[in-house]
């Protein structure tokens, strides 16, 4: 079965100027760095990209720039989720207009669907604004508070969304994930979104993976994938445990704010985070870098071309 996406897909940070304005200049270097380190594509304007802290105009500019600089074999998925359906549709239509490879969509997270059928209807309305693009539902219940079984969603959505391609599954429910992988003989693409348990997702049949830590630690995960493919389970577990240590450290500081600091450590400055998030202070930044050094971060972080 032909797949739209395989391998590692990074969820890139949205670069900001020191005053908080969107900075498009680093995007080409971000794409070049990801590709040079074995990443197959980018899931832009997602959680890591602080999408719901950006205006629609900013999100469009970011998506346009990623699509403009992407090589033909580097594929861009645009996340179009928004609490307002009309805004989702606007962003979806824009993604199709600029030639993106696909769209993803978070569940509305203020007024929420009360049934899985209501969620499927909402997604159908979004997907209809970009009928030529594959549509992926972005399952992130820890943030959205919308937590229906995704097997039920596939059953409800398959007849409502002609361009439904699959799910970006960012959750720990491996039973549900595995059932979705098997649904209708693997008809839908299941992109795994939990970097800290990527090995479990691959063992259950993930066709690809979308994650924030692939921005700065792609070589670690590429090695993990290769070990898994060779059947070297001891090595694969060892590498997964390294990733767990790194992510466990990030959780102490806040994954997104720590992640932007780590991008700078690796040699690609994406600037600050946007309020209400708060940047690390100098003491925290120094503590984080020293702790990462002890974990061997610089032995597996990305190599930024030109740095």
Distance CA 76, CA 63 (A): 8
Q: Which residue has the tokens 């908080």?
A: 20
Q: For 70-95, give one letter per residue: b (16+ CB within 10 A) or e.
A: beeebbbbbbbbbeeeeebbbbbbbb
DSSP 4-36: S--EEEE-PPPPB-TTS-B--TTHHHHHHHHHH
Backbone angles phi, psi at 3, to 5 degrees: -115, 145
Neighbours of 295 (CB within 10 A): 14
Instruction: Examine the residue annotation and report whether 138 is marked as an active-site residue of this protein.
Output: yes
With CA atoms as reference, report the closest residue to 167 among 199, 201, 139, 129: 139
Instruction: Examine the residue annotation and report whether 168 is marked as an active-site residue of this protein.
Output: yes
Token duo for residue 77: 């998925």
Neighbours of 100 (CB within 10 A): 24
Residue 43 neighbours by CB under 8 Å, 6+ apart:
9, 10, 11, 12, 77, 79, 104, 168, 210
Set 138, 214, 221, 253: catalytic member: 138
Q: In what helix (H) or strand (E) does residue 76 lie, and over which residues does it extend?
A: strand 75-79
Task: Collapse the DSSP code of 260 into the 3-class scheme (helix H, G, I; strand E, B; otherwise coil) and give the result.
Answer: helix
Distance CA 259, CA 265 (A): 10
Set 35, 136, 168, 300: catalytic member: 168
Catalytic residue numbers read: 138, 168
């Amino acid at each position: 079965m032909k797949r739209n996406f395989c391998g590692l897909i990074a969820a890139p940070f949205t670069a900001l100027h020191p005053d908080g304005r969107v900075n498009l200049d680093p995007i080409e270097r971000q794409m070049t760095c990801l590709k040079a380190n074995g990443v197959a594509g980018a899931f832009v304007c997602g959680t890591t990209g602080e999408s719901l802290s950006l205006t629609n105009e900013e999100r469009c500019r970011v998506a346009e720039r990623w699509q403009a600089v992407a090589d033909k074999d580097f594929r861009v998925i645009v996340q179009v989720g928004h609490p307002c359906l009309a805004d989702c549709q606007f962003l979806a239509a824009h993604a199709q207009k600029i030639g993106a490879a696909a769209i993803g969509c978070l569940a509305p997270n203020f007024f929420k669907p009360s049934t899985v059928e209501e969620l499927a209807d909402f997604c159908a309305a979004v997907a209809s604004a970009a009928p030529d693009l594959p549509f992926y539902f972005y399952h992130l219940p820890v943030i959205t508070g919308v937590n229906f079984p995704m097997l039920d969603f596939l059953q409800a959505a398959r007849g409502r969304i002609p361009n439904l391609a699959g799910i970006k599954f960012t959750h720990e429910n491996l039973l549900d994930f595995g059932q979705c992988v098997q649904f209708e003989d693997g008809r839908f693409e299941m992109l795994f979104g939990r970097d800290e348990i990527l090995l479990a997702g691959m063992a259950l049949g993930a066709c690809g993976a979308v994650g924030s830590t692939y921005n700065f630690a792609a070589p670690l995960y590429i090695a993990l994938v290769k070990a898994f493919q060779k059947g070297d389970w001891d090595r694969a577990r060892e590498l997964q445990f390294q990733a767990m240590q790194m992510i466990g450290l990030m959780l102490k500081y806040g994954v997104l704010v720590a992640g932007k600091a780590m991008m700078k450590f690796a040699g690609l400055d994406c600037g600050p985070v946007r309020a209400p998030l708060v940047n690390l202070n100098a003491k925290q930044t120094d503590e984080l870098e020293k702790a990462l050094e002890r974990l061997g971060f610089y032995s597996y972080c990305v190599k930024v071309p030109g740095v």
